[in-house]
Amino acid sequence: MRPVCSRLSVRRLSVAFALTTIVAAGTQLVTPAALAAPPSNDDIGAAGVVPNTPFTDVVDTTEATVAEGDSGCGSATVWYSFTPEASGRYQLDTFGSDYDTTVALLEGTPGHLTLLDCNDDRSGLQSAIRADLSAGTTYFIEAGTCCGGEVGQVGPGGSLQLNIADAPAPPNIAEFEWNRIRITGLTTASLSGSVSCSDGPGYVYFYGTVRQRQGLNLAQSSFDGSAACSAGVSVTATASLDFGSRVLVPKKATVTGVAYACDDFVCGDEIESTAIVPVKRR
């Protein structure tokens, strides 16, 4: 004989099946998407190893965390270790990242690190350090987030690009010469000369004094200025002069000044010079 099912039993089974379907469907709708995991080099104990230079690494830091061992140069950090094969000057930067970054250079061992340098916003929101590193010494590089919408808040991470490469030599002045003064007004004039750098690109900064003896009187003006500088290329440097109540006359004057060259990270040695230059009318 066939088993007999009552209509009530059938209804109960139908309701139970419908409820199961709804619960399953509801569970499927509300299941949250999986969050991105912290990057593999989130902590210094798992620092990414830089095998050689030039080196570039791109990593998603949206889930990077703050750890007790972080240096304080930025937050939500990731770590790298770098042991140079050769001593030299290196550049560490985050150029190419898509968020506000920091970068730090440290020496020592985890738990006993010394912060050597920290930078934020070297170029726009990206950071960079140049440092002289020793062959065979292990350094740690910490890249972090900085400065969200309000002061003191940490902004979100994003796509970090860390670059490590040999740094160019700091620019130094190869040649600097003042060669003429042109009178531009009753008490004003323009000083000009030429400058070139041994390395670069960079900028030359200069300042000094122009003096012209006029019998028992002295016409005097201070000056300062800057000029772009490239290795082996001679460029013109100019500065405006204002002698106040004194009138400059068309004869020679003495220029005494100081000049030095800088790039975005460091300045070279200052040089002093004294020159006697002709003064001419326009």
pLDDT tens for 209-248 read 999 999 999 999 999 999 998 888 888 999 999 999 999 9
Cα–Cα distance between 14 and 19 in angstroms, integer? 9
Residue 190 belongs to a domain: yes
Write down the pLDDT at residue 229.
Answer: 85
Asked if residue 216 and residue 136 are part of one domain, the reply reads: no
Last residue of a domain, one of 138, 166, 194: 166
Asked if residue 159 and residue 61 are part of one domain, the reply reads: yes
The CATH code of the domain that includes 212 is 2.60.40
Residue 68 belongs to a domain: yes
Residue 198 has pLDDT above 90, yes or no: no
Asked if residue 134 and residue 210 are part of one domain, the reply reads: no
Residue 11 belongs to a domain: no
Write down the pLDDT at residue 155.
Answer: 63
Write down the pLDDT at residue 35.
Answer: 55
Q: Give the mean model confidence (pLDDT) for residues 186-203.
A: 89
Mean per-residue pLDDT over the chain, rounded: 84
Give me the number of domains the chain comprises. 2
Do 192 and 238 touch, CB atoms closer than 8 A?
yes
Considering only residues 7 and 279, tell me which one the structure prediction assigns the higher pLDDT.
279
Asked if residue 155 and residue 188 are part of one domain, the reply reads: no
In terms of C-beta density within 10 A (0-12 exposed, 13-18 middle, 19 or more buried), how is residue 168 classed?
middle
Residue 268 has pLDDT above 80, yes or no: yes
| Percent of the chain topping pLDDT 70 | 84
Write down the pLDDT at residue 266.
Answer: 82
Last residue of a domain, one of 111, 136, 166: 166
Asked if residue 49 and residue 160 are part of one domain, the reply reads: yes
Residue 10 has pLDDT above 50, yes or no: no
Asked if residue 185 and residue 131 are part of one domain, the reply reads: no
Residue 133 has pLDDT above 90, yes or no: yes
Asked if residue 83 and residue 50 are part of one domain, the reply reads: yes
Q: Give the torsion through C-alpha atoms of 193, 194, 198, 199, to 10 deg.
A: 90
Write down the pLDDT at residue 154.
Answer: 57
Going through 134-252 in order, the beta strands assigned E by DSSP cover: 139-145, 159-166, 173-183, 188-197, 202-214, 217-229, 235-242
64-75 pLDDT, tens digit per residue, is 888 877 888 888
Confidence of residue 38 (pLDDT cuts 50, 70, 90): confident
Do 275 and 211 touch, CB atoms closer than 8 A?
no
Last residue of a domain, one of 166, 185, 210: 166
Both structure tokens of 193: 């000369």
Residue 179 has pLDDT above 90, yes or no: yes
Structural domain including 207 reads 173-281
Residue 212 belongs to a domain: yes
Asked if residue 182 and residue 199 are part of one domain, the reply reads: yes
Q: Give the mean model confidence (pLDDT) for residues 92-106.
A: 94
- Among 25-29, 69-73, 146-150, 248-252, whose mean pLDDT is lowest? 25-29
Asked if residue 125 and residue 104 are part of one domain, the reply reads: yes
Asked if residue 133 and residue 50 are part of one domain, the reply reads: yes
The CATH code of the domain that includes 75 is 2.60.120.380
Asked if residue 249 and residue 161 are part of one domain, the reply reads: no
Write down the pLDDT at residue 263.
Answer: 85
b or e along 81-117 (b: 16 or more beta carbons within 10 Å of the residue's beta carbon)? bbebeeeeebbbbbbebebbbbbbbbbeeeeebeebe
Residue 31 has pLDDT above 50, yes or no: no
15-24 pLDDT, tens digit per residue, is 343 434 433 4
Residue 77 has pLDDT above 80, yes or no: yes
Residue 87 belongs to a domain: yes
Do 239 and 206 touch, CB atoms closer than 8 A?
yes
Q: Give the mean model confidence (pLDDT) for residues 252-271.
A: 90
Q: Give the mean model confidence (pLDDT) for residues 164-193.
A: 92
Write down the pLDDT at residue 113.
Answer: 93
Residue 250 has pLDDT above 60, yes or no: yes
Cα–Cα distance between 87 and 125 in angstroms, integer? 29
Asked if residue 211 and residue 189 are part of one domain, the reply reads: yes
Residue 29 belongs to a domain: no
